[in-house]
A and B are shown apart, each in its own frame.
Chain A
Amino acid sequence: MVRLRIGVALQDAALDPKQTGRELLDLQGRLYGLGAQQRRRRVEELLVLVDIGDAIDRRIGTYSGGMKRRLDLAAALVHEPEILFLDEPTTGLDPMSRAAVWDEVRRLNEQRGMTIFLTTQYLEEADALADRVGIIAHGRIVAEGTPAELKRSVGSDLIIVKCRPADSEQVARVLSTVQSLGSIEASADEVVIAAEHGAKAISPVAVALSEAGIAIDGLTLRTPTLDDVFLHVTGERMGEDAA
């Protein structure tokens, strides 16, 4: 039966505000056929994840958003599913709560061998947690692979030129004449240049801009992130329209 093998934590915590946290977890255990002893053990184990202390015996309606999200995740784990679906599990969480959820996701995957499907708008979250990443834009998968593979698809290094919005097109035009640069993408106040060897390419970039008389606000070199991959494959910034 599929429902016994999967756990789901939806984007909005699906909880009953009039039950206590402990009652909710216990009821989940009952509905998954766990005996009284197993339920007590699971609730005690999950209390470490939920980490809300004595509040576990208070009504859920009194919990903060972060407490609710963690309890919701715990409710999805009561029956120790083989496959876990997490829909934006850290949206709205404070950094500490987010770190706790990340640790739990890693632990479930590494120690329990649980397969986890996680949707997120935070690409650094996908980078930190996922073995494989699929990027969806307008309802279609537009890129798929390990984080390293996806980053390689953009180029080895990225040079970022910060400039006034009015100058970005001109910056892109000037840099298109520089040898050994890869793709050049101009957006509002920055131009992103892919380069095989960033350390070698940054100097010609600076010289070309200086000779063209363009004043810039910043010039940085970094390795690609999944944000860059997203921008590269969708042509949009995360949250603009694609998701």
Chain B
Amino acid sequence: MSAAAPAGFFDDLRSISLRAIRLTWRDPEAFLPALVIPVFFFIVNVGALQRFVEGSFPAAFDYKAFQLPVAVVFAVTGVSRANALVLDIQNGYFDRLLLTPVRRVTLLLGLMTADVVLIVALAIPVAVLGLIVGIRPATGPLGLVAFVLMAGLWGLAFTGFPYSIALRTGNPTAVNNAFLLFFPFAFLTTAYLPQASMTGWLAVATTFNPTTYLLGGMRALLQEGWKWAAIGRALAAIAGMGAVSFSLAFAALRGRVKRN
């Protein structure tokens, strides 16, 4: 007589997460560029603009601290196991998982849990780079932890988009092109200059871009201290982004499960 029974939500989540984490480390080519590219941009941006920007603002303005959140956000945004999910769909393994009594929602949540681990692992070396180049967070070590966690939450909130595309299309090219979604979020914001120095349509665009508030909160932790208004706006931006992307992802999961 079989002893099979539904494992339960948390056991399912743990099983799917552990598999995803294990496979993440077997797939270094999938995440190493996410570490190299932001470090490259950080060095180039600081090298090219530090003297110019710091010369235009009060003496205490630290352009390296201003740029570090941008590097971290570049590192963690769009990092996901969506390509691995597409592979599962294409080789039929996703169907095999659906044949088990696994809670469907954990098939996505498990991947997202692995993403959080990877995202934090990517954010830490970039944050350490900031310490190496002389950035000292105004909020101390605890603030640096909050800085990394905030980046992690943002990265997690963004994962819903590539998962949504993966589940809807099952197409790796479409998933790879999901990074284009990040362009307006990354560049129509205060990535290079403070909002106060912007004018015209770009200033208006930054007002409606959640990344602006995320960067504002992270910069507050590094440069100003525990500024709860800025931190609250950053968390609200993350929550808003997460609500939209997760809604799309879980709707896509429901559609995929129904089709199978």
What residues make up the interface of A, taking CB atoms closer than 8 Å to B? 1, 3-4, 6, 8, 10, 12-19, 23, 27-28, 30-35, 38, 59, 75, 79-82
Contact = CB atoms under 8 A, between A and B. Distances in A.
B4 A16 contact: no
Contacts of A15: 91-93, 96
B22 A33 contact: no
Given A31-B12, A31-B100, A31-B102, A4 B5 contact: yes
A13 B99 CA distance: 14
B6 to A, nearest CB: 6
A17 B3 CA distance: 28
A14 B15 contact: no
A5 B84 CA distance: 29
Contacts of A80: 1-4
Given A17-B91, A80-B2, 4 more contacts: A14-B96, A31-B100, A32-B101, A80-B3
Given A19-B19, A33-B101, A1 B93 contact: no
Contacts of B224: none
Question: Ordered nearest first, which 8 A-B pairs have the shortest CB separation?
Answer: A14-B92, A79-B4, A80-B2, A33-B7, A31-B100, A33-B5, A32-B4, A14-B96
A8 B7 CA distance: 19
A31 B23 contact: no
B100 A32 contact: yes
B18 to A, nearest CB: 8
Interface of B: 1-8, 11-12, 15, 19, 22-23, 26-27, 84, 88, 91-93, 95-97, 99-102
B15 A31 contact: yes
Mostly helix, strand, loop or mixed at chain A's interface? loop
Contacts of B19: 19, 23, 27
Given A19-B23, A27-B15, A14 B3 contact: no
Contacts of B11: 30, 33
A35 B15 CA distance: 12
Most buried by B among A27, A33, A38, A75: A33
B6 A18 contact: no
A18 B27 contact: yes
A81 B26 CA distance: 32
26 contacts: A1-B6, A4-B101, A10-B92, A10-B96, A12-B92, A13-B92, A15-B91, A16-B23, A16-B88, A16-B93, A19-B19, A31-B12, A31-B15, A31-B100, A32-B5, A32-B7, A32-B100, A33-B3, A33-B5, A33-B6, A33-B11, A34-B4, A35-B3, A38-B3, A80-B4, A82-B2
Contacts of B15: 27, 30-31
Contacts of B100: 3, 28, 31-32
Nearest to A4: B4
B35 to A, nearest CB: 21
A75 B97 CA distance: 11
User: Which one of A13, A14, A35 has the highest number of Cβ atoms from chain B below 10 Å of its Cβ?
Assistant: A14
Nearest to B1: A80
Contacts of B97: 31
Nearest to A12: B92
A10 B96 CA distance: 9
A30 B7 contact: yes
A21 B95 CA distance: 18
Interface core residue of A1, A15, A27 (most chain B CB under 10 Å)? A27
Contacts of A6: 99
